[in-house]
Chain A
Amino acid sequence: MAINVKIKEELEDYLQNRAGKKRNRALIKTAYRLSEQEIESIKRAIPALKDFELDNEVDDSLLAGFVIKFGTKVIDLSLSGKLKSFKKLMYEID
């Protein structure tokens, strides 16, 4: 019987975390697949992501821009995120 790949990954992450080693995988969600150059330029622009490996995931609902998740932190620079906060702003003004 083989262990499910996803479970293996999660277990590895969990053990690494408990051992104190910081997880340095970050997830970058975009509306279309990014090229290596684009990912590199993003890494350069955001100093917090220096030692992180970026996994690219495609998500249409973002419309444009990207969302980066690392650990429990999130950097939301997507169009859908901006529209949502705009909507909230509109509701707050009478």
Chain B
Amino acid sequence: MKLIDQYIKEIEKDITKSQLKIKTEEVGVISEIKDGVALLIGLDNVSYGELIEFESGVKGYVIDMNEDSIGVIILGDYLGLKSGEQAKALGQTLSVPVSERILGRVIDPLGNPQDNLSKIKADKFYPLEKIAPGVVYRRSVNTPVQTGIKAIDALIPIGRGQRELIIGDRGTGKTTIAIDTIINQKSENMVCIYCGIGQKNSKMASVVETLRKQKALDYTVVVNASASDPASLQYLAPYSATAIAEYFMDKGKDVLVVYDDLTKHAWAYRQISLILRRPAGREAFPGDIFYLHSRLLERACRLDVKYGGGSITALPIIETLEGDLSSYIPTNVISITDGQLFLETDLFNAGIRPAINVGLSVSRVGSTAQTKAMKKVAGKLKLDLAQYREMAAFSQFESELDEETRKFLNRGARLTQILIQKKNQPFSLAHEVAAIWAANNGYLDGVSISHIEEFGNRLTSYLDTRGKAWVKSVNKSKLLSEDDEKSLEKIVKDNVEVSS
């Protein structure tokens, strides 16, 4: 009895001491529910972008404000909601919980774990919608993102803080390029975020498995809004990924974000806009479809040292139909990004993988984001390949051509072959430089086309065993000194002799 009396005394003390906080909440009532969108009456004083919570616990996001009603997209399962259900405003804008513990996890756009592990405890909450850093906060891009793909690092280099679009038809290897880039960031001190928008669950599972097998998941976050998730989550997924990236960028880190893909993102936003009865424009997209992507991609930048010096590199992916680059969404995103990697089905089918059309692909940052070692070998490679493309049409008249032309065609074919590489096997800087240097200086001119892959493999394995010191020194210094070139000459000569 005494114990209970003590408890009651404690409770009495607590109640009389504590001040009752009077909190006013806005409430509303659902009047209409459409696919994933609810119209509410009431909620007179909510702000745009505020979070709403329904009675059943499902959350919503205010996206439309009319004179008498509010349009809310439902962040979750809308099938359990009823007309007449109460909703209250939470007084905060939509944010995603972030902390260092988010690395290695698979989450949905609201921060809920999808990999059956523990909930993520948040250090901070980063808002999904944020205005991109202004001009004063930025610094120019001059450090490279080593993708590990020879064709990209040599001819279309990507810098930290750049936005490079990966565009092509279905099945041309867009996701593979993104995944290979993520795998190659193992020793580059970069945080990677892979954002899947409207992808098949099987594809997301295989992506996560690939990253796990290659030990890339330790520094990667996977944000997943699959095709079976409501359009509202697909619409918010890239913004959620960018918010997480900004958390790491504010800590001074370099971040790589892959948006796979923005075409499905545009479709999800079109679905939401049409349900909200917003006026439909070209291809039934709403009027602000450009702003949808521009405000997302502008948040990728490189910050000045004063503000931490971090950066976000964005690799958005767009799927075209029948190679049509001049359709609505592709032209929009091409004009926003700092360059594109154009993948072609014809090249893919001809065995050139990655199927990058070097002529049409562009990096507006270019060689400012290349290491000195790569710059040495890339200039000649670019010229030779350009000349090869000019004369490619004449390759069928091989026997009737003069010596010079035949030499160009020969060299060009071998350069194209040396740029081919297998998927999920990214190259380090030294390996890339070695392979391109060998082709540039004519050591492969005598090797038959079908044996070039063999040469490439042999060179790689030689460098990994007996050439370890050379690889280490080039990877560290990022230069190709005279001595380095001499040692490389010896290595290449040895390997070429074996193959012929």
Contact = CB atoms under 8 A, between A and B. Distances in A.
Interface of A: 45-46, 48, 69, 71-77, 88, 92, 94
Given A88-B57, A94-B119, A72 B27 contact: yes
B88 interface: yes
A46 B43 CA distance: 21
Contacts of A72: 26-28, 42-45
A76 B89 CA distance: 13
A76 B44 CA distance: 18
Given A71-B44, A88-B57, A76 B119 contact: no
Interface of B: 20, 22-28, 42-45, 57, 88, 118-119
A71 B22 CA distance: 17
Nearest to A84: B55
Contact of B24 (A45, A74, A92, A94): A74
A48 B119 contact: no
Name the prevailing secondary structure of the A interface residues.
mixed
9 contacts: A69-B27, A72-B26, A72-B27, A72-B42, A73-B24, A73-B26, A75-B23, A75-B25, A77-B20
A77 B23 CA distance: 9
Contacts of B26: 72-74
Contacts of A88: 57
Given A94-B118, A94-B119, A73 B25 contact: yes
A73 B27 contact: yes
Given A88-B57, A94-B118, A94-B119, A75 B28 contact: no
Given A73-B24, A75-B24, 16 more contacts: A45-B22, A69-B27, A71-B44, A72-B43, A72-B44, A73-B27, A73-B45, A74-B24, A74-B26, A75-B23, A75-B25, A76-B25, A77-B20, A88-B57, A92-B119, A94-B119
Given A94-B118, A94-B119, A77 B27 contact: no
A65 to B, nearest CB: 10
A76 B20 CA distance: 11
